[in-house]
Amino acid sequence: MEIQVLHQVMDWNEDVSDAVKQTLAGQHICMINVMGSPGAGKTSLITALIQRLKANFRVGVIEGDIAGQVDAERIAALGVPTVQLNTDGACHIEAMSIQKILPALPLDRLDVIFVENIGNLVCPAEFRIGESLRMTLLSIPEGDDKVEKYPLMFTDTDCLVLNKYDMLPYFDFDEARVCANYEAVNPSAPLFRVSSRTGDGIDALADFLSGHIARAAR
């Protein structure tokens, strides 16, 4: 009789993440995992990026929320395929949820999928979801001590977006401190200064993402 070996939850999540990654690679789709605190401006940034990217790429969105669908409604209003993923209390998205929900998107007609993770600077960083790229947001009003206090989220990302950058004059935010802390834990990943409201910095970020999307499409 064969003995069934149960993986630990974290290992199992990694396995499913690899399977999702393979599915997406087969479809030449780039999946971007968007993470940050509640209110860091994830939905607004995704909205601004879609407006820049949609001329060249076919975009889809998975909107993660604990409850409700206010964000999914905002995104769907842009006319891009959007599915709502409610975690029903869970503080992060796991790869299995992505695997289950992918068939709800028209994968054969997409180049990039944005996944808006749950607003949380901790747990989402621990769970790969099959993404090609991780994008962490830190908004100016959150303060300049976040890289020190929530290290994994900044160590394990492919780029950092300083969002609500137009709010810098109104807050006591030491930008040099954030840059130094970020470079110390993640020296090779770029940093973008962005305001989704004014549009400043969105082009540079969209160019960076376009490079990744184009590579996945090959």
Q: List residues binding a copy of itself (CB under 8 A).
A: 37-39, 65-68, 70-71, 89-91, 118-123, 126, 139, 141-143, 145-146, 148-152, 164, 167, 170
Q: How far apart are the C-alpha atoms of 137 and 142, rounded to whole Å?
A: 10
> Based on CB atoms, which residue is closest to a copy of itself, 47 or 210?
47
Report the nearest approach of a copy of itself to the CB of residue 151 (Å): 6
Question: Is-contact 35 124, C-beta < 8 A?
Answer: yes
Q: How far apart are the C-alpha atoms of 33 and 125, rounded to whole Å?
A: 10
Report the nearest approach of a copy of itself to the CB of residue 58 (Å): 28
> Based on CB atoms, which residue is closest to a copy of itself, 183 or 207?
183
Report the nearest approach of a copy of itself to the CB of residue 149 (Å): 6
Residue 216 token pair: 């996945």
CA R_g for the chain: 17
Question: Position of tokens 């890289």?
Answer: 147
> Based on CB atoms, which residue is closest to a copy of itself, 102 or 118?
118
First to last CA, the chain: 45
> Based on CB atoms, which residue is closest to a copy of itself, 101 or 151?
151
